[in-house]
Chains A and B, each alone.
Chain A
């Protein structure tokens, strides 16, 4: 079945540091890929998405590129802020499938 493997956390960075959170996946067919973010005490919300190979999703300074050859969708940000502290989930969904598959989540803490 489908699976998503995320870089284990927690991750602690200083403000303005570069962020990478690794995500690799196993899936049949051509899934859509997502990064969701969960701020403390809130539900998950979509951060960015990509629907086909070589697509780059971007939002709020975060980027991720759909790499079919390496089955990866790594999340990056050039300069993190304290307000980026949250849990980040990588996820995939196959077209017409009823299930979304999530990674275990990576907790990011950014210190001033």
Chain B
């Protein structure tokens, strides 16, 4: 069965970076894009960007351009999302999700990132 398993919760200080991993299983990793979506407490879902694991091609929401980097390690079927220059407004649950076209059909369990001094 398709599974996306994310890394555990992280705590960072303002100005630091965080890298969240998303390990895929149950399907051919390079055949589907991986998206990253976040949800701050009390807020809605917010799309951050996507990556094609086959080509490595990425695209990011304008809001995160220059601050987010999606990458992958095909040998271990794992995608990564790194967010830099963190502020308290980046405190959120971060999800990876597989996409068919633009439909996010399988999601990871979420990773809580807390930014606090």
* Bound together: no
